[in-house]
A and B are shown apart, each in its own frame.
Chain A
Amino acid sequence: MTDPPLLEVDHLVKTFAQRGGMVQRIAGGTGLVRALDGVSFTVGRGETLAIVGESGCGKSTLARCLVRLHEPDGGAIRFEGADVLRLTGTQRRQFNRRLQMIFQDPYGSLNPRMRVGESLGEALAVHHLAEASQIPARVAELLELVSLPAGAALRYPHEFSGGQRQRIGIARALAVEPLCLVADEPVSALDVSVQAQIINLFLELQQRLDLALVFITHDLRLVRHIAHRMAVMYLGRIVEAGPTGAIFAAPRHPYTRGLIAAVPQLVPGRHDLNEAVLGEIPSPLSPPKGCTFHPRCRLAEERCRCTPPRLDNRGGGWPVACHLAGTEEAQG
């Protein structure tokens, strides 16, 4: 008798129409981009799931669908068992509060003409989380939670450094007492020493508040450090998903292997040992037939060019979408 997962995403589909694109239309492209093509995963309370992939893999679209900045075209999102896409009125507001998004550039999500205290207070007031008289005290609590001085409440966003602004973004998200944070590249714009501070803050807050965290990033070093489980996306699909440690130890999909090998290590000379992943991500307007990764895969064979592989356990401990997984060929 296990509880249902906090967040459950089931065969999510999001399609964008290509605008303009005369050349593509004449060339016979469909003009549709399937940014998400049947994405499924779950996240439990207090758990971190990393969504990892390169530009154009659909990870940011996924984040935006989760907080309903985009309406998905198919599939379901369930939060505490409720079908999120059908929520209306009070229930929808309640959900908005429970699932909060943190953006890469907090500057873009903070009102530049509001003092930090006002921004935080507004979130509390909108959701009726504090009486007007209690708001200053609660704001001070929030600032302390993210290790900012209480005086920060009276200052404007532009007066802070990038790392401090990200702390404000996190405080703002936490103001409404969420159960789950969706963080889209939250530290990519920061220097490495500041990155470490923010990552530590996430780890600490998660433990204190039992937060679920969907951590969207292209940085595999962070994934390895912060995530319990990870899902690797390629052209709108999850190609491998499982426990982070196990995947890093023995990645099953050739793309995952290529990604991990491509991360620069602090080891001089290691670079020469691995071969780079071939080519570049193809246009999502006309994705390759069969396995969408096959043009870049050194192991691709005939069936990879014809039949799309299903995301399946294939005799291993976690699902992978590769025809060769579990066979001898894939042990390359």
Chain B
Amino acid sequence: MTDALLDIRNLQVCFSTDNGPVFALNGLDLSLRPGETLGLVGESGSGKSVTLRAILRLLRANAAVTGRIAWRGEDLMRASKARLQQVRGSGIGLIFQEPMSALNPVLTIGQQIDESLVAHGQRDRGARRRRALELLDLVGIPAAAARLENYPHEFSGGMRQRAMIAIVLAAEPKLLLADEPTTALDVTIQDQILKLLKRLVRDLGMAMILVTHDLGVVAETCDRVLVMYAGQVVENAPVARLFTHPRHAYTLALLRSVPQGGTARAPLQTIPGQPPRLDRPLEGCAFLPRCQYQEPACSRGRPPLVEIGENHLSACLAAAKLPPWTQTA
């Protein structure tokens, strides 16, 4: 417990909107060790991006956030604005799905890296330029010296994401938060960026939380995965475990709905129905109306996230009776 880099307990986020409250995050627990890569996976509205923004206290004023977010033992929920500003960047860096909306269109990439280095306390102009070149090199941008003078629009999508990563790395964060960093990219570029992130995390000793809707991305990039549904963590397991022994009915349904080889043109398994509405508090298991393994007890209060194996937590009362998942590769 004490060696956790980030430790989140009972995080709740509720947005007040014109149409009433939206319960976006309903009691999330998360613990991350230094150097660990954690995947947050789920479908639209499951609360994965809200979690990242809540960690950095970036949610808008209409969000009521409660719970405890401990960053290296320090409670960020009580941190001052100035302290939060320090943590954002030099402690925790954030990269987005669409770097174009995070980059400043009227500053060159070099200027934006420079800003980040200045904010990080680097005073020597020559040293900053050397560091900027090193950083572009580190993220695999060729002809770094020329590229420093380019504006974001002169970069391709993949190169923009690399530049974004370089700017974030300039502040030497201990934790990288990546929100769907490859979703907008082509598959060969996605492959390159995921390999880059994996290498950086390893070489620089960073931890990473990777938010994605793609189970394949999680399998190939992460050490541990949290499966989210309706603002809750429903399963928490090492990847090697989750992709061989899923122990939540939703995880199983999600894995089954991914098209696999070997079953060409057979109907895919679907998840009937829709995710629950989040404008009222949930009673019982959130997945219950769509679940084919439900038991009477599932409607009596929310199933707790309990340890069902080594390092493996599940909030499914039917965990023990779920059929094995077989992959047809």
Contacts and interface: CB of A to CB of B under 8 A. Distances in A.
B142 to A, nearest CB: 9
A255 to B, nearest CB: 9
A43 to B, nearest CB: 16
A191 B158 contact: no
A204 B216 CA distance: 27
Interface in A256-277: 258-259, 261-271, 274, 276-277
A268 B149 CA distance: 39
Q: Is the interface of A mostly helix, strand, loop or mixed?
A: helix
A204 B141 CA distance: 46
A264 B214 contact: yes
Contacts of A280: 156, 158-159, 189
B258 interface: yes
Contacts of B219: 264-268, 270-271
Nearest to B192: A276
A102 interface: no
Nearest to B156: A280
B242 to A, nearest CB: 8
A266 B269 CA distance: 16
B264 A225 contact: yes
A250 interface: no
A193 interface: yes
Nearest to A222: B259
A225 B259 CA distance: 6
Contacts of A224: 259, 261, 264
Contact of A220 (B187, B239, B268): B187
Interface stretch (A65-73, A136-144, A194-202, A302-310): A194-202
Contacts, number: 123
A294 B99 CA distance: 29
Nearest to A263: B187
A244 interface: yes
Interface residues of B, number: 46
Contacts of B158: 280
A8 to B, nearest CB: 24
Contacts of B195: 271, 276
Nearest to A164: B274
Given A196-B269, A244-B264, A264 B258 contact: no
A221 interface: yes
Interface string B177-198: 0000000001111111011001
A55 interface: yes
A147 to B, nearest CB: 11
A204 B267 CA distance: 8
A195 B269 CA distance: 10
Contact of A266 (B44, B157, B221, B327): B327
A195 B265 contact: no
A193 B259 CA distance: 10
A105 to B, nearest CB: 15
A271 B329 CA distance: 15
Nearest to A225: B259
Contact of B188 (A204, A225, A265, A277): A277
B270 interface: yes
A27 interface: no
A192 B198 CA distance: 25
Interface stretch (B53-61, B118-126, B249-257, B304-312): B249-257
Interface in A146-163: 161
Interface in B98-132: none
B204 interface: no
A192 B43 CA distance: 8
A268 B243 contact: yes
A32 interface: no
B190 A262 contact: yes
B217 interface: yes
Interface string B198-239: 100000000000000111110111000000000000000001
A130 to B, nearest CB: 31
A54 to B, nearest CB: 4
A277 B258 contact: no
B257 A267 contact: no
A312 to B, nearest CB: 24
Given A192-B43, A204-B267, A262-B187, 6 more contacts: A161-B274, A192-B258, A193-B257, A266-B260, A267-B220, A268-B219
12 contacts: A196-B270, A218-B187, A220-B187, A221-B259, A259-B188, A262-B187, A266-B216, A266-B219, A266-B243, A269-B220, A276-B188, A277-B188
**Lowest 9 CB-CB distances: which A-B pairs, in order?**
A264-B216, A271-B220, A225-B259, A54-B186, A262-B191, A196-B268, A193-B271, A191-B43, A277-B188
